[in-house]
Amino acid sequence: MKVDLHIHTNCSDGLYSPSEIIQRAAEEGVTILSFTDHNCFADDYSSLIEQAKKLNLYLIKGIEISSRFHNIELHILGYNLGQPCSALEEYLEYYQKEKTIQTQLRCQESLNDPLRLASGKQISLPFEEIQQRAPNNKKVYLWNEMIYLLAQKFNQDKRDQDPSMSFHQAKALLIGLPSAYEQFKEAIPSLKRGKTLWPVHHKIQYHSTEDIIHWIKESQGLSSLAHPGEQAPGLKEDLIAELKRISPLDALEVYSPKNKNIMFYRQIAQKLGLLFSGGTDFHFADDYNRLGMVLNKRTPQPPTSNDCLILTKEKITLLSKLQPF
């Protein structure tokens, strides 16, 4: 019985619809799952839960909420929430509005300063084209659609001798990774090494992590600190202990591809009396991303038990609080 409590759909920045992921989970042997979209809930959870039941799956209502703690951006996973309390509802509405404005501004920057290709073509990403690519259930306009559109336009307009651009390479270009510059500097002469493409300075004011955890509790939900190892060199024990002291935090996402030292976070959770949560932070399927599997390297298909950590009900102690488990 595989479990995955950290999955993104195309309601935020995932590639697949909720229904597609339920079908994929059934095919891959994941029987307990949760959609944890960024600062929004997947559409029509009641019908999704029924779809999952027909395939003998158990779907848990979830969300991943952005917050700020000691000037660090932390993500808090919420599970089994009822009706969100008014403060949480207002924050989610604010975030969705501001994130869309961010994307609109970045698209405008692409019109003001388009990429100039060696082929003589130019690439810009109008917001209207982003909207056309987005599914009807889109709630938060992140930059996922920008990434896909950038790769698509480049591959259409490049010279024959230029390399093709993958989703991962387009993302690397947008965030300004030097490796992407080296790959595409000849095909895109206007690139600048180490520079983010079309930066904007419209900041979203995150609420405190303590507030978010309290709001999840007020909404009858359970909270988990997401991928603590994502913060280089990883979130320290004293900060997690402080967060546990000042808030009703329920769990720590011990099992995550972003935690290089899983045993370290397992020991912290045990010491602080936190339940174990776990998930793949799944956005789309590739060699790094498989439902219910924490991969530790690029693996052949299908991966063996030596290549990954299988998430099971026994590992995820948070499930003890999520009835009927």
Q: Is the pLDDT of residue 305 over 80?
A: no
Give the pLDDT mean for 28-53: 94
Rounded to 5°, the CA angle 86-223-140 comes to 60
> Which pLDDT score is estimated for 304?
66
> Which pLDDT score is estimated for 126?
95
pLDDT-derived band at 134, boundaries 50, 70, 90: confident
Q: Is the pLDDT of residue 137 over 70?
A: no
Q: Is the pLDDT of residue 191 over 70?
A: yes
Q: Is the pLDDT of residue 228 over 70?
A: yes
pLDDT winner (highest mean) among 42-46, 89-93, 133-137: 89-93
pLDDT-derived band at 8, boundaries 50, 70, 90: very high
Q: Is the pLDDT of residue 138 over 80?
A: no
> Which pLDDT score is estimated for 325?
53
Please report, rounded to a whole number, the percentage of residues in the chain having pLDDT higher than 90.
76
Count CB-CB contacts under 10 A for residue 62. 25
> Which pLDDT score is estimated for 12?
87
* List of domains in the chain: 2-85+208-321 (3.20.20.140), 92-184 (no CATH)
Count CB-CB contacts under 10 A for residue 252. 29
Give the pLDDT mean for 85-100: 95
Q: For residue range 230-263, what is the model confidence (pLDDT) as tens digits?
A: 876 778 999 999 999 999 999 999 999 999 899 9
Query: Exposed/middle/buried for 305, CB within 10 Å: 0-12, 13-18, 19+?
Result: exposed
> Which pLDDT score is estimated for 79?
98
- Which region among 26-35, 166-175, 178-187 has the lowest average model confidence (pLDDT)? 166-175
pLDDT-derived band at 291, boundaries 50, 70, 90: very high
Three-state secondary structure string covering the chain:
CEEEEEECCCCCCCCCCHHHHHHHHHHCCEEEEEECCECCCCCCHHHHHHHHHHCCCEEEEEEEEEEEECCEEEEEEEECCCCCCHHHHHHHHHHHHHHHHHHHHHHHHHHHCCEECCCCCEECCCHHHHHHHCCCCCCCCCCHHHHHHHHHHHHHHCCCCCCCCCHHHHHHHHHCCHHHHHHHCCCCCCCCCCCCCCCCCCCCCCCEHHHHHHHHHHCCCEEEECCHHHCCCCCCHHHHHHHHHHCCCCEEEEECCCCCCHHHHHHHHHHHCCEEEECCCECCCECCEECCEEECCCCCCCCCCCCEEECECCCCHHHHHCCCC
> Which pLDDT score is estimated for 285?
84
> Which pLDDT score is estimated for 142?
65
pLDDT-derived band at 42, boundaries 50, 70, 90: confident
> Which pLDDT score is estimated for 235?
87
Q: What is the pTM of this model?
A: 0.90
Please report, rounded to a whole number, the percentage of residues in the chain having pLDDT higher than 70.
94
> Which pLDDT score is estimated for 300?
61
